[in-house]
Every structure is written in structure tokens, then in C-alpha cells.
Amino acid sequence: MNQHMWYPCDDNRDEVRVAMPISTEHRGEFEFRSLTPGDIDTVRRLCKEWFPVEYPDSWFRDICTNSRFFTRVACYQATIIAFIVAEVKIYALLTKEERSMLAASFPRRTQMAYILSLGVSAEYRRRGLASQLLGLLLSELRTAEHADCRAVYLHVLTSNSPALRFYERHKFRLHTFLPYFYKIDGKYRDGFLYVYYINGGHPSYGALDYVVYAFSLLYEFSPCAVARAAVRLLRRAVKFVLPQGRRTTETIACLS
């Protein structure tokens, strides 16, 4: 499962982005640590092997030297076999499309984390490394330092079925279909925007969300047969009427 995306660095905005910690730890036979300047050539080679796009040299320099990126690599016997790269962004710097993932009620200081790249060497896949790397990122974002980070999001090719299954298994939700989002080998390819809400983050609520909430209150304070039946019907409505990408974590939770 390999997934990638990259936005060019704007050095004039570095001061408003969030610095990420450097870390090293061991888990069983694997070592997990941050990227360093000495990893540039290795990461460049791995990206060429793993991903269908070409990255500019500035990208490798940025992710290996700039503290605004969250990076973790998995090493086996001192050799990099997997890595994740993410960046925490300030809400005010996001595009209109990216801001639409969160309810407008969140303040402008709100943060969102963007996963730029996640990949594992072919011979080490299906060993849980991608899940561990994603878990390290989410654990960092749940710390007090990142309490204002309300969502994690990423772009992925619509044809990348392993990546889609991976993120959906980890509770990421489809937010938007992006036609002609990628350009690979001179051809345009479609993409998806996926999002995972954390630290109380949520999208804008629709009319059905308020109906669900009202019936949930009715069920809580008057657990009669009618209320229970209504909640069961609403569960089915959420499951079958709404597209997968429009269901919110809060909607499902209040019906559980």
C-alpha cells in the first residue's frame, strides 16, 4: 500500500506552520525514527520505486531537513523500509476545498494535518508497518500540543485500491471526488480526498444530522418502543441513503 501527494513548499509561510518533534523508538525488530538529512538519497530512490510521479529535489530536502514536517521511517537492520510524511497546517492557509472538510464554526487557529506520503517496501508489506506509522502520526496529533488539530486528510488515486481499503479500514471517510487531479506520465488521473476527524473535529452538520440528534434525545429521555423503532429506521437511513463520504463520525456514534 503506497500513497503519495505533495504540495510545493512556500518558504514565506514557514513561520506560521507547526514544528513537529524528532523521535526514535524500537518496536520489536523494527526501529522507528524521524528523517534526517542523511536520508535524502535513500528516500529519493524509494520514491522512484514506489510512486508513479517524480518529485523535485527540493521536496526531498524539505522533508528531511524542515521541522514543520512530521516524518517517521521504519528501519530494519538500519535500512529504511517504510516511511510516512505529514504536515500540520493552519486553517487560514488551506484552500476553500480543504476548509470545507470542517464546520465553519471552528476558529481560524484550527489546525489540520495533511498526509503527503506513506509507503512500504514490497517485501515488507502486510506486516502492519503502514498501520504503525499511521498510528504514530495520530498519537502525536492527539497530544496536548496539537489539541487544535481537528482533522487528518490526504489525496489518493481512485485506482489505488490497496490504499483506499487501508484508509477506509482505519476509519478515514471519502469527502470529495477530484476529477483530473493528478497528472502522471502526461495523462490526467482522478483522485479522492479522504478525511479522518480527531480531537472533536467534525464537518458541517446537515438536516439529517439534526433529525438524528432529536430522535436520540427522545430515545434517551423516553425509551419507548416508538422511539426505539425510529432510531432503528434512522440507522438504516444513514447506512443506505447517505453516501459513504457524507456520514459523520458523530452521526454514527449517536445512533450506537
HEC assignment per residue over the chain: CCEECCCCCCHHHHHHCCCCCCCEEEECCEEEECCCHHHHHHHHHHHHHHCCCCCCHHHHHHHHHCCCEEEEEEEECCEEEEEEEEEEEEHHHCCHHHHCCCCCCCCCCCEEEEEEEEEECHHHCCCCHHHHHHHHHHHHHCCHHHCCEEEEEEEEECCCHHHHHHHHHCCCEEEEEEEEEEEECCEEEEEEEEEEECCCCCCCCCHHHHHHHHHHHHHHHCCCHHHHHHHHHHHHHHHHCCCHHHCCHHHHHHCC
**From 4, 55, 91, 155, active-site residue:** 155
Q: Which of 52, 21, 30, 26 is nearest to 128 (CA)?
A: 30
Q: Is 170 a catalytic residue?
A: no
> Is the CB of residue 206 less than 8 Å from the CB of residue 226?
no
Mean pLDDT score of the chain? 81
Confidence (pTM): 0.73
In this predicted structure, the answer to whether residue 219 has a pLDDT above a threshold of 60 is no
Q: Where are the domains of the chain?
A: 3-197, 207-254
What's the CATH class of domain 3-197? alpha beta
Q: Is 197 a catalytic residue?
A: no
| Model pLDDT for residues 63-102, shown as the tens digit of each residue | 999 999 999 999 999 999 999 999 999 988 888 888 999 9
| Model pLDDT for residues 179-209, shown as the tens digit of each residue | 999 989 889 999 999 999 999 999 987 665 5
**From 55, 114, 153, 167, active-site residue:** 114
| Model pLDDT for residues 120-138, shown as the tens digit of each residue | 999 999 999 999 999 999 9
